[in-house]
Amino acid sequence: MKIVVVGSTGTIGAAVVRALARSGQHEIVGVSRHSEPALDIEDATATRAFFKAISRIDALVSCTGNAVFKPLAQLTDADFERSLHSKLMGQVGLVRAALEHVADHGSVTLTSGILAQRPMRGSAAISMVNAGLEGFVRAAALEAPRGIRVNVVSPPWVTETLEKLGMEVAAGLPADTVANAYVAAVEGTFQGQALNAVQFV
């Protein structure tokens, strides 16, 4: 399969590229804002141009999108707008731009996160965006043409991220384990699902 992985240099994205490469069956095109060619999911026009140029793919995996973590009382209109524009509408825009370029029975896999189901103080904007992505995927899957599957992976806290943040790592899952859920979304038969990465250990 020809698979585009957006956010391929990130903690989760790099692990997803490694996991998908393991079978030796796929051609993987990793992209981010700093790749060549670059792809910025916040730029809808450039995103459409990217997929037009790449023509046909079998699968799209998005492991990216930014949202603001801040106490509710400190979240500004700009913080909400940034979270919606990047992680939510950036990934929705990816689907809208990519769908006509995905082969029959191909797939699109997005990324939400555990904070949709298990919020914490400071996660209001992120929890909102993650839940929005899961609702979008369930509905988009109903209308995806030509047997294309649309799913979203919900990662828990990733061990490497907790380490970087200087937080307790016990509750985390290594990125290489989280990647299993993305492989299942691409190579399996899931449709319209929010896949909890913890269930793919």
2-6/102-111 β-pairing: unpaired
Residue 130 Cβ, how far from ligand NAP at the closest point, in Å?
7
In the complex, which residues of this chain contact ligand NAP (CB under 6 A)? 6-13, 32-34, 39-42, 63-66, 86-87, 90, 111, 113-114, 155, 157-158, 161
Pick the closer one to ligand NAP by CB: 146 or 177. 177
Residue 172 Cβ, how far from ligand NAP at the closest point, in Å?
7
Position 196: which residue type? N
What is the C-alpha separation between 10 and 44, in angstroms, rounded?
A: 21
Pick the closer one to ligand NAP by CB: 99 or 173. 173
Residue 92 Cβ, how far from ligand NAP at the closest point, in Å?
13
In Å, how far are 27, 101, 104 from 153, measured between CA atoms? 21, 21, 21
What is the C-alpha separation between 156 and 153, in angstroms, rounded?
A: 10
Q: Which residues pair with 3 in a beta bridge?
A: 28, 59
Pick the closer one to ligand NAP by CB: 125 or 140. 125
Pick the closer one to ligand NAP by CB: 107 or 109. 109
